[in-house]
Amino acid sequence: MLDIVKIALRNLTRFGRRTVLSSMLITLGIVAVLLFIATAGSFKAIKAAIRDATGLDVEHDTKMQQIAGPALYKLLQTGKVDAMINLSSFSVAATSQPDKFRSIFSPNDYWKKKTGYPIVWSAPIVAWRSWVDENPTRAKNFVAAVEESFRWLRKPENLDAAVKKYGTLASVTTPAEIATYKKLLGEKAIFLAHWDSKVVDAEWQFLDVAKKQGIIDAVPDKKKHALLLGN
């Protein structure tokens, strides 16, 4: 199981040291200066959620710039910016310091209140349909292994073992950060470990919101693009 976690962490840290563990943590500020670091798709999803929830257009109603995560977090720490949108371990670092920082808006909490499910940022397992069709059993076994690894991490002792071995690689090093991950995993706020038709329906409802808010031009065909392989 640790080998699964190791592979996942290696792959995730190739993308600006972002981790799935911190992908669900969003902090948003609407005063003066808003800086963000996020992938284009994630930021568009955040924009859609904020517009739907509050009517705020973050690109036009705030002063916003894009900057690399480490510099962004440093500016936030020194008070040179008012807030940030960040999808990385820096989000967890900030969340782990409630005496200094607070979350202003959580797209996940908002969507869970509406549908019962979070917005899935980077938990989906994406594969070429041809790869799935080539060997459906292999695809199902892979999905089952990934979902099992998510459930495995929810146990505090297992997270401790993963952090001991790979924490530096994943930028999870302080007791406060580890405690934050344990809390999030215990609350099932990250790592969606089970997919069914209700989960897919909730995600496609969000695509409808994105289209309504002008973020995407059209909602993709659910039958064509959503494939359930889990148990």
Summarised one tens digit per residue, pLDDT across range 50-91 is 889 988 888 888 887 777 778 888 888 888 888 888 767 788
140 Cα distance to chain centroid: 23
Out of 105-114, 120-129, 178-187, 199-208, pick the least confident.
Answer: 120-129
> Could you tell me the pLDDT band of residue 189, with boundaries at 50, 70 and 90?
confident
Secondary structure of residue 31 in the 3-state scheme: coil
Range with lowest mean pLDDT among 8-12, 70-74, 158-162: 8-12
Q: Is the pLDDT of residue 4 over 60?
A: no
Answer whether residue 206 shows pLDDT above 60.
Answer: yes
pLDDT value of residue 69 = 78
The closest of 77, 79, 85, 116 to 103, measured between CA atoms, is 85
Quick one: CA torsion of 60, 61, 66, 69, rounded to 10 degrees? -150
Domain positions in the chain: 2-16+121-225, 20-105
Average pLDDT over every residue of 147-159:
91
Compute the average pLDDT of residues 18-25: 34
The partner residues of 36 in beta bridges, in order of sequence, read: 66, 85
The predicted model gives 112-117 an average pLDDT of: 88
Q: What residue type is assigned to position 6 of the chain?
A: K
Query: Quick check: 37 and 69 in contact, CB under 8 A?
Result: yes
Give me the pLDDT at residue 109, please.
Answer: 85
Give 220's DSSP letter: P
Mean pLDDT, residues 111-138 = 81
Residues present in the chain in total: 231
Residue 189 CA to residue 39 CA, distance in Å, equals 20
Alpha helices in 83-214 (DSSP H): 89-95, 107-115, 129-134, 136-153, 156-166, 175-186, 197-212
Higher pLDDT, 90 or 145: 145
20-105 carries CATH number 3.90.1860.10: no
pTM for the structure as a whole: 0.68
Using CA atoms, how far apart are residues 12 and 170, in angstroms rounded to an integer?
Answer: 8
The crossing angle, in degrees rounded to 10, of helices 40-54 and 107-115 is 60
Predicted local confidence at residue 218, as pLDDT: 92
**What pLDDT does 41 receive?**
67
pLDDT at 230: 61
DSSP 25: -
State how far the Cα of 107 lies from the Cα of 97, in Å rounded to an integer: 20
Residue for token digits 């292999």?
138
Name the band, by pLDDT with cuts 50, 70 and 90, for residue 231.
Answer: low
